[in-house]
């Protein structure tokens, strides 16, 4: 198969950036994409989370500081999620 062309595509230019210029703080997808634990916790603390799927951030609960802050926020809101607990 050496030298045999099996696929061909038109060239595409991709612009890579170091930072996202605008984060929509009302969109959890944008907030999660920032990777900022503080931004995620702020969203959970200040927004309606009753339809939020905590599986989206379950991997972050391995971080003890993040998990502790998250549990305090959820207790304060009177919210229980078995993914987190």
- Containing 74, the helix (H) or strand (E) segment is helix 64-77
22-47 per-position pLDDT tens digit:
778 888 888 998 889 999 999 999 99
pLDDT digits (tens, 9 = 90+) for 59-85: 999 999 999 999 999 999 999 989 888
C-alpha angle 31/47/83, rounded to 5°? 75
What's the distance, Cα to Cα, between the start and end of the chain in Å? 53
pTM value? 0.72
């Amino acid at each position: 198969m050496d030298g045999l062309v099996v696929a061909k595509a038109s060239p595409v230019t991709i612009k890579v950036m170091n930072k996202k210029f605008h984060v929509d703080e009302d969109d959890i997808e944008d907030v999660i994409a920032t990777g900022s634990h503080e931004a995620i916790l702020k969203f959970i603390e200040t927004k309606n989370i009753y339809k939020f799927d905590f599986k989206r951030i379950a991997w972050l609960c391995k971080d003890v500081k993040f998990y502790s802050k998250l549990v305090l926020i959820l207790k304060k809101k009177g919210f229980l999620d078995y993914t987190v607990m």
